[in-house]
Amino acid sequence: MKLVSLHNIVFGYTHSPSLNGVSFEIQSGEFVGITGPNGASKSTMLRVMLGLLKPWEGTITISKKNAEGKRLTIGYVPQQIASFNTGFPSTVIELVRSGRFLKGRWLKKLNLEDEERIENALKMVGMWEFRHHKIGALSGGQKQKIIIARVLATDPDLLVLDEPTTGMDAESRKAFYEFMYHQVKKHQRTVVMVTHEQDEVKRYLDKNLRLERGEEGGWKCLTWNSCSEHFGQVD
């Protein structure tokens, strides 16, 4: 099932386009990587895709329904979202709980199902034992994990991550990629992730969207589907 479609997108912050003729599709249940050199407008492309920036030209279509015919839910973790200072007053579990207060539910109490989803989300990112810790006292990688846990607590169909492994060491990045792969294959989520670590993550991907400099200026998108001869197989 097609979840997202971009066709001939042109966008820029000045008179010159930073994205020029970008087209791609994302299917339900895919793990999609977005790669490219520094300055390749990867984050900009995510924001255009999500409707946070309006393109100059082109069309964007995002399905209103998920694969089960229910309303599509989207979770978005922007770049450097986890830069809390040491005085940030919230605990880990308080922040993740806030993810269950969806639109129209601010005055409602959390029920048992909500608490179970919160616990599961923290356990999925390996942060349950830190649930009563102050967020400002955590490492950068731990902060990133709890932000992702908050998004997972909303039970999104489409999870969009902008450089989520910033601040993680190589072992932590590998564990994170395996965790996202598990979310796609076992929990039927669709994951779209910007990353600089192409060689590390490519074996987990179903599709790689790579931004390359276009001949007429701006960045264009090249799409590769993952297969054994291109990327190898996950053991």
Residue pLDDT, tens place only, 106-143: 556 788 988 998 998 898 888 999 999 998 888 877 88
Per-residue model confidence (pLDDT) at position 58? 97
Q: Is residue 235 part of a domain?
A: no
Q: Is residue 141 part of a domain?
A: yes
Residues 170 and 172: their CA atoms lie apart, in Å, by 6
Per-residue model confidence (pLDDT) at position 227? 47
Question: Do 69 and 6 fall within a single domain?
Answer: yes
Per-residue model confidence (pLDDT) at position 131? 94
Tell me which residue range forms the domain holding 210.
1-73+156-228
**Is 140 exposed, middle or buried (CB count within 10 Å of its CB: 0-12, 13-18, 19+)?**
middle
19 sits in which H/E element = strand 19-27
Question: Do 174 and 206 fall within a single domain?
Answer: yes
Total domains in the fold of the chain: 2
Q: Which of 155, 186, 214 is the last residue of a domain?
A: 155
Q: Is residue 233 part of a domain?
A: no
The answer to whether residue 47 scores a pLDDT higher than 90 is: yes
The two structure tokens encoding residue 130: 């830190």
Question: Do 160 and 69 fall within a single domain?
Answer: yes
CA 130 from chain centre, in angstroms, equals 23
Residues 8 and 21: their CA atoms lie apart, in Å, by 4
Q: Which of 155, 179, 201 is the last residue of a domain?
A: 155
CA 122 from chain centre, in angstroms, equals 17
Residues 208 and 89: their CA atoms lie apart, in Å, by 39
Question: Do 9 and 66 fall within a single domain?
Answer: yes
Per-residue model confidence (pLDDT) at position 89? 80
The amino acid that residue 113 corresponds to is E
DSSP string for residues in 68-97? TSSBP-EEEE-TTTT---TT---BHHHHHH
Question: Do 118 and 5 fall within a single domain?
Answer: no
Arithmetic mean of pLDDT, 144-156: 88
Tell me the chain's radius of gyration from C-alpha atoms: 18
pTM of the predicted structure, to 2 decimals: 0.85
Sorted by sequence, the CB contacts under 8 Å of residue 171 that are 6+ apart come out as none
